[in-house]
Structure 1
Amino acid sequence: MSRSSESGPSTPPVTADDLDLAVRLAVTVLRRAPSAAWDAKAGSLEWDCWETVEHLSDDLFAYAVQLGPSTPPLDSEVPFAWESRRPGGPANAVHADRAAGPEGLLRVLEASGALLIAMVRTKPRRTRAYHVFGVSDPEGFAAMGIVETLVHTHDLARGLGLTWSPPADLCTRVLVRLFPHAPESADPWSTLLWATGRAELPGHPRLNTWRWDGTPRA
């Protein structure tokens, strides 16, 4: 994984285009899932695959609306009502209409992603907004949205019987932005799965707890 150094160029920043790519790739893969597979558990999560897409959609929506106000809050979330539809299910503000089927569910994911992409494109770099892991900026929220998209698509691919391997350069950019102290000995996708508690790396056991660092870099 290439990081910044005195002798070489720094890793490019995370952009709205990166987030757009992540969401498009995820939706393309998920459209291959059999209609009957959506009730399966999503990898190691306690949610089924339908709920996991709703959760991912909700993550993207939540990051978008956090950046949305003219003066984004720095000490709390924008107060949408989040609720679970069943005990143990994800607490979301976003729920897809089951009658619309999997294609409707994926449209909800695309729409939520588009909201965050638009916010990242249009908000000034100096914008700051609250996240439970710390105040961040539009680039940080873009990177968070990408991580959520990549790793939850990994969870979904396991439950749906799909193959998923996102671009290495995309993984590198979000690792540098959000996990600057992650080991550099493995390929970026494996390292991102390790950093989010989903895999082991040689010499680095699977994490039981993890968090990213969304601190603005400039």
Structure 2
Amino acid sequence: MPPSTAGPLPVTADDLEQAVQLAVATLREAPSAAWDRKAGSLEWDCWETVEHLSDDLFAYAAQLGPKAPPLEGDVPFVWESRRPGGPANAVHADRAAGSAGLLQVLEASGALLVAMVRTTPSRVRAYHVFGVSDPVGFAAMGIVETLVHTHDLAEGLGLAWTPPADLCSRVLARLFPDAPSTTDPWPTLLWATGRAELPGHPRLTTWRWHGTPRS
């Protein structure tokens, strides 16, 4: 039988759910005193980075929520920083709830986007600064945010983090069509998001994904 020439399967809501659950399970292993450490190469601490990731997932779900989703801007929630230089979020976790509460906020925000991707018709389009997108595109964006920010967090928290290669392959195909296709998917995704060098490819100083559906 000749080898298959089919590309990666499309991204699904199940892929997003897997990414969030893997991230939450990994982050639960963090020492309770480590959340004020800097998150990898970011200027935010680890607590703020989880809030930012939660906010991303919430915001993507919200974009798909209106009966007529916006095509020229974000749903106008108020995003604000808790300190100069901190992430501007609509979602903030109650620090009195500790890291367990913080991760519950992350899991809940992820579940909102999973539900919206599962229930929103594929014909629906909504605004994102990197291209008006469809529900599958927002799922892929949520996966990239989750995988890459968990990488940032794992660096700050001293945790191991290597997500599944097939998951990385699918989001690369959906959002980064110009990324190298013959290199390992996880290092390639880190390269595509400006976090690492790749053999033969210098580290990116600017980057973006392409959310517009291919067809």
Give the structure-1-normalised TM-score.
0.96
Q: What are the superposed Cα offsets for residues 31-69 of structure 1, whole Å, 9 maximum, x if unpaired? A: 000000000000000000000000000000000000000
Q: 1:61 aligns with which of 58, 63, 80?
A: 58
- Distance in 2 (alpha carbons) for counterparts of 1:142 and 1:185: 24
1:15-34 → structure 2 map (5 Å cutoff): 15-34=12-31
Task: Give the alignment partner of residue 164 of structure 2, picking from 161, 167, 170.
Answer: 167
Aligned-residue offset at 1:185: 3.0
Q: Which runs of 4+ in 1 moved over 6 A?
A: none
Q: Deviations over 1:134-171 (max 9, x none)?
A: 10000000000000000000000000000000000000
Matching residue of 1:52? 49
Distance in 1 between the 2:204 and 2:100 partners? 34
2:122 to 111, 120, 125: 125
* Higher mean C-alpha displacement, 22-31 vs 10-19: 10-19
- Say whether residues 1:93 and 2:90 are aligned partners: yes
Aligned counterparts of 1:205 and 1:8: Cα–Cα separation in 2? 29
Matches within 5 A, 1:145-184: 145-184=142-181
**Which of 178, 190, 196 is residue 199 of structure 1 equivalent to?**
196
Using the TM superposition, give the Cα deviation of residue 132 of structure 1 relative to its aligned residue in structure 2, in angstroms: 0.7
Name the CA distance, whole Å, in 2 between partners of 1:56 and 1:125: 24
Match for 2:199: what amino acid?
A: P
1:115 equivalent to 2:112? Answer: yes
Any gaps of 5 or more consecutive residues in structure 1? 1-6
2:130 is paired with a residue whose SS is coil
Count of residue pairs brought into register by the alignment: 213
Q: How far, CA to CA, are the matches of 1:26 and 1:152 in structure 2?
A: 9
| Two-structure CA RMSD over aligned residues (Å) | 1.0
Instruction: Pick from 71, 75, 82 the counterpart of residue 72 of structure 2.
Output: 75
Q: Where in structure 2 are there 5+ consecutive unaligned residues?
A: none
Report what 1:42 is aligned to: 39
Question: Quick one: distance in 2 between partners of 1:9 and 1:70?
Answer: 35
